[in-house]
């Protein structure tokens, strides 16, 4: 069986070049679509009895939104997701919605979604080498465990203080908001990095890098 790798490379280059050259209206529509994907994946929920933070699949959509939409627009998709959910559409985790979620136990993670998508979109569009598996996995680890979990844990701690009158210890906070999610997140990050390696072109398609600096990567 012959595999047309050259054709595959051309298709993925053409798709990302097309995305890069779209108008802001088209990019906003694509951002809304990714917000919908995030909302759908947020319904894959595994509740945990000792914490108000459930295991969900939505972080996979968050990570891929930056890859698929690129600079700014991946972040915009998560802004749209949060604004529509805050307006009352029940597409936060477990079919919840409303502004109260933003100041609830999981509100910090939602803010982190925006930061993570912005970071990944920036690197995917501006730095060709970041599209390889190892650099992308490293970036996703930073985005996931740094940009999502830090604000998530901060808000979770404040929410616990407000609802119980006691600030949880560092260990209690990690047990509620980080440690149970590490295995699943590592699987999602590995999968997302592998998909990114497969679907992103290894040639400049926009303003990211001068192709003359990288002669080993040629345009199709």
Alpha helices in the chain (DSSP H): 5-20, 24-41, 58-69, 73-86, 107-126, 133-142, 149-164, 170-177, 182-199
Residue 181, CA distances (Å) to 24, 40, 150, 184 in order? 35, 19, 14, 6
What span, in angstroms and rounded, lies between the C-alpha atoms of 95 and 91?
5
Give the Cβ contact number of residue 17 at 10 Å. 16
pLDDT of residue 19: 92
8 A C-beta contact, residue 192 and residue 64? yes
Q: What is the pLDDT of residues 169-213, one digit of tens each?
A: 999 999 999 999 999 999 999 999 999 999 999 888 875 544 444
pTM (2 decimals)? 0.90
Tokens 């894959």 found at: 44
CATH 1.10.1760.20 fits 24-206, yes or no: yes
> Residues of 32-67 as b/e, b for ≥16 C-beta within 10 angstroms?
eebbbbbbebbeeeeeeeebebbbbbbbbbbbbbbb
Q: Given this model, what pLDDT does residue 178 score?
A: 97
Which residues of the chain fall short of a pLDDT of 50?
A: 1, 209-220
pLDDT for residue 3: 64
Q: In the prediction, which pLDDT does 203 show?
A: 85
């Amino acid at each position: 069986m012959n595999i047309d790798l050259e054709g595959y490379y051309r298709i993925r280059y053409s798709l990302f070049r097309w995305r890069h050259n779209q108008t802001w209206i088209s990019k906003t529509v694509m951002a809304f679509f990714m917000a919908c994907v995030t909302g759908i994946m947020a319904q894959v929920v595994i509740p945990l009895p000792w914490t108000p933070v459930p295991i969900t699949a939505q972080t996979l959509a968050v990570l891929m939104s930056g890859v698929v939409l690129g600079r700014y627009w991946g972040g915009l998709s998560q802004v749209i997701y949060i604004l529509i959910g805050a307006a009352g559409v029940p597409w936060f985790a477990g079919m919840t919605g409303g502004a109260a979620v933003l100041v609830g136990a999981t509100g910090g993670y939602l803010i982190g979604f925006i930061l993570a998508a912005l970071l990944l979109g920036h690197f995917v569009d501006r730095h060709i080498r970041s599209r390889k598996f190892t650099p992308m996995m490293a970036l996703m680890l930073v985005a996931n465990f740094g940009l999502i979990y830090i604000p998530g844990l901060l808000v979770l701690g404040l929410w616990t203080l407000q609802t119980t009158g006691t600030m949880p210890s560092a260990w209690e906070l990690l047990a509620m908001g980080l440690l149970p999610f590490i295995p699943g997140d590592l699987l999602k990050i590995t999968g997302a990095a592998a998909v990114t390696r497969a679907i992103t072109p290894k040639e400049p398609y926009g303003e990211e890098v001068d192709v003359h600096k990288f002669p080993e990567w040629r345009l199709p």
